[in-house]
Amino acid sequence: MADGALRPDSRLHWWHAMPIVARIAVIYFSARVVTTAFLLGASALSGPGSRFGVSPSLGDLILGWDSRWYWIVAEVGYPSDLPTTDSGAVGENQWAFMPLYPWLARIVALPFGQWSIGAFLVSIVAGFAASVVLYRLLREKLDESTSMWAVTFFACGPLAALFQVGYAESLFLLWLFLALWCVLGRRYGWLYLLIPLMGYTRPGVLAFALFLGLYGIWRWFQRRREALAASEVVHIVALGLLAVVVGFSWQVIAAWGTGDGGAYLATELAWRRNWIPGDAVFAPFDGFLAATQFWFATMWGLPVEVGYVLLGAGVAVIAAALLWAPPVRRLGVEMRLWSASYVVYLLLVFFPQSSIFRLLIPLSPLWGAVAVPRSRLWRISVLIACLVGQWWWIYNMYALGNTVWQIP
């Protein structure tokens, strides 16, 4: 009986004897092999109607979509004169893309002579490092098994191809997870470095500013349970202000580089005109409202009121999950405040289309809540769903990629 009881554990003794980082490496790089197989499958299925043509190489896929904009930033920098369309509106250009990722990829690419190799290496290494930090972050609140399963879902998730193409997401996630881990450990000094790194990798640091504001309010009301030193108040306020300054600084830099005070917002709105032609003007929440009109009334022929009801219901469901769902609550207040802050940020600034899936990547700490149920059947089912979703995303974005809802 004793031998029988011990047998299942003894079979996995070699696995548990490995260092945590080594276990994460096995999971992460095994997942990358699967993703590579999916990308090769997408290449084989890519036809004349795809933007990639017939049988593109992996290098072509790495440089696909927004990756090419990062490559342009690395090679020629940013335009001093904004390009315009035939109607005179500002056209798509490099000012929509932050410089840290393409420049880092260019440095890494120096021994190889190809920016795409540097981009691949930065993405895949940053994704691995982000996986390790995500594990450490979740272990602050969850047990080892749950945290490891959450990392598995993260490494195999529907958007896992981003760890292998020329996008800045994996590098941004590394900075974000480190920043959240520092907040959990009250290690505020590192945030003075991490906030600028986030801010110049991709948009989203203003969501972190909102998070720090909400976190500071929560810490104030919890000061009787956990002492709140004056130095901590100074750090939280200073870091929140730093995140705001960094978040808006790119608009100032774009204005200085082009002589146009509205260069950055005009550039961002250029992408929206692909869906809604005409003069686009930025206003908080307008993106979601305009998109509701576009998708429900224009594209699907449904009453726009249905869209508004579903939008409101979706926001209510997310708020309820962050407030009351037991698996989410187990992640701690910090992860819930970050998730709420990022959702509010998206509602304020984003025009939802097929890129919404990629824009949700910074909510990856919520994989911990998905992994909380300890049923093996549940976890295996989620893993299968992740892999199926990953193939569906890669197939649509890289094998097809020829309609408005097939844009990463």
Q: What is the tens place of the pLDDT at every residue in 237-281?
A: 999 999 999 999 999 999 999 999 999 999 999 988 878 877 667
pLDDT at 10: 57
pLDDT tier at 373, thresholds 50, 70, 90: confident
Given a contact cutoff of 8 angstroms between Cβ atoms, the answer to whether 211 and 338 are in contact is: yes
Mean pLDDT, residues 120-133 taken together: 98
pLDDT at 279: 64
What distance in Å separates the CA atoms of residue 276 and residue 258, rounded to the nearest whole number? Answer: 25
The residues, any chain, with a CB within 8 Å of residue 392's CB and separated by 6 or more, are 158
Given a contact cutoff of 8 angstroms between Cβ atoms, the answer to whether 288 and 295 are in contact is: no
Q: pTM of the predicted model, to two decimals?
A: 0.95
Helix (H) or strand (E) holding 243: helix 230-258
Residue 62's DSSP bridge partners are none
